[in-house]
Structure 1
């Protein structure tokens, strides 16, 4: 099938945490024979911070963030069998949502792909005139980055015909063990952009732990932290491109995952960082969120913390041998159960079944 995907960015992870999620899923779908076109606006300096060049498995269309260019790329939706509007493009989100519905051909499968479902649902609850509320009646599916039954129930309560979580996963060709790199040497490292609904949790789980362990070294990567007051044993790297993620995960004694408020509250929402770290056989410490045991087993494949004190105690007690054992167990688990090959098969099955049903109805 021809898939037209309108998202934030395939080429850059700069202020775009969904980049590796898009790449993993769409690459697998391309390998299954689907023709992928990814449309992304030239916005937020992402094109000046590319991690990859346009891949051979997708047609990449970068359009100026203007109304004229928006109209041109939306017009191309009529050629697709599947049209996807992802959440959080950052510019023209409402126009893109309404435009893909309006321009899609009558036979096309229309999908809203929510990479931050908990936040989107909170917005919808507070805004009776939210454009997605009206659009749901014209969409065939809502796919979500995670969220489990709470998100499915909420979306169906708003009128979604079908809502299916398509969880993050590992692309082992991209994220895998590599030799350590002294640039990332530390006892605990955290990678994530500074966002309003994440900052307080980073203060609790990362900075509080650093303050409690002044003799240990801490490393933080991501955009926006440059003017944040931090303990003296915390080193800030700034943006870390995806090419360095493996070394970032492999080098420290342990790496930390901190969920955003909305994702922690709803649960069942493992971040891409969870699978990237596990894929590199890193020892992962994560804040607690409901459903984590569906992805990694606490104390054996991941260490779970309920506050900064727990994080500090994990780091204090951790030995290189135990860290290695946990990381290797996590790698084995995600390779067996949480790869983009498996997620791609899930999406492919859904799309194939839906298109077959449409053909049957048309032939009847």
Structure 2
């Protein structure tokens, strides 16, 4: 590192993890960036939904500022943005298209996009839905960091004109996610906000096994589940868990379940942060299948792949304690070596530093012609 970078991130949320995976992802990454000696400022739109549910109002690893509108963002922080070594704008930022245009007009030294929802974003753009990113803006970024890897990076370049598309998977803070030694409470658990496209899989891979195994205990944690959801009697419900409670939650499970959104399955190479968190706590994974999962967690060695309730029941009743521990240990080793916050931060910083900073004051007009 030649000198510390001054990085500004404009993201959906850092202060509240309620109902979104962005906060957890940003927290792990930015802790790693801070530990490497760089300076980070996070700018977050002050939204009512998060205002009443903040669980990290004063992060110790970066400066956090809230703003009320795009005009306020630019009036209060325009000078800081213009002088930053790099600006990173995240997906699902409110009024994101307007934010990107306003920031681009400042002629920033380096302008990046961090898409924590890449498959969803591209599906929206193909439909003409430009909720937080316009198709014309994709080529404006020096780097398009993508939550998803694999073939989706080729589509970003070839179909949408991204200058440089790089994977930036989520990561886990190994200091905060570790086995707590808590007494085991559940045989199988799941952590995730309700999503209509995930619910059939949750039904198949957790609720149905719970009905078949009434002597075992299950748990589902996360908000927004419909009031009329038919929960079996042996499934405990937890409305919300703050990140500070995640490690204990995983440590109390014999196995943990991962359920992937349909867009992420279709794209492949989109590991959920929950996979890394559970593995860091040495809780063995049962997951649905998606292309690329073997790169992160080889089936049978670091995770159990389940296609049906039969697979889950077989795992809960037939996997020995010795094999369970071996699967958990292999998953932990893979996460610790390649998917820690420090490892991800190094990749993030190295990519930013590889981009020559813009030195002229001409604004970045995000209207380049896309490839034919």
TM-score (norm 2): 0.88
Is the CA contact (8 Å cut-off) linking 1:171 and 1:339 kept in structure 2? yes
Structure 1 partner of 2:255: 254
Alignment check: 8 A CA contact 2:70 2:99 kept:
no
Deviation, structure 1 residue 62 = 1.8
In the alignment, is the contact (CA less than 8 A) between 1:7 and 1:85 conserved in 2? Answer: yes
- Kept in 2, the 8 Å contact 1:181–1:247? The answer is no
Larger CA deviation: 67-76 vs 116-125: 67-76
Worse overlay, 210-219 or 269-278: 210-219
**Residue in structure 2 matching 1:139, options 125, 138, 141:** 141
**Conserved 8 A contact 2:142-2:355:** no
Instruction: Please name the residue that 1:362 is paired with.
Output: none
Is the Cα contact below 8 Å between 1:39 and 1:63 reproduced in 2?
yes
Q: Give the Cα–Cα distance (whole angstroms) in 2 for the partners of residues 306 and 223 of structure 1.
A: 25
| 1:60 alignment counterpart | 64
The 8 Å contact of residues 124 and 130 in structure 2, kept in 1 or not, is answered as no
CA distance in 1, matches of 2:119, 2:347: 22
**Match of residue 280 from structure 2:** 279
Structure-2 separation of matches of 1:94 and 1:74 = 18
Considering Cα pairs closer than 8 Å and 6+ residues apart, tell me whether 1 or 2 has the greater RCO: 2
Q: Work out the CA distance in 2 between the residues paired with 1:103 and 1:282.
A: 47
More helix by proportion, 1 or 2? 1
Deviates more, 1:44-53 or 1:331-340: 44-53
Alignment match, 1:241: 242
CA deviation after TM superposition for structure 1 residue 44, in Å: 4.5
Note if 1:31 corresponds to 2:31.
Answer: no
Matches within 5 A, 1:223-242: 223-225=223-225, 227=227, 228-242=229-243
Q: Give SS of 1:197's match.
A: coil
Q: 5+ residue gaps in structure 2?
A: 360-372
- Using the size of structure 1 for normalisation, the TM-score is 0.90
1:307 paired with 2:308, answer: yes
Alignment of 1:1-364 (within 5 A): 1-64=5-68, 66-73=69-76, 75=78, 76-89=80-93, 91-105=94-108, 108-127=109-128, 131-146=133-148, 148-156=149-157, 157-180=159-182, 185-225=185-225, 227=227, 228-355=229-356
> How many pairs does the alignment contain?
351
SS of aligned partner of 2:45: strand
- Secondary structure of the corresponding residue to residue 331 of structure 1: helix
Choose 214-223 or 329-338, whichever is displaced more: 329-338
Q: Distance in 1 between matches of 2:356 and 2:341?
A: 22
Aligned counterparts of 1:85 and 1:13: Cα–Cα separation in 2: 18
How far apart are 1:181 and its partner, in Å? 5.0
**Pairwise CA distance, 1:237:** 0.5
Structure 1 alignment gaps of length 5 or more: 360-364
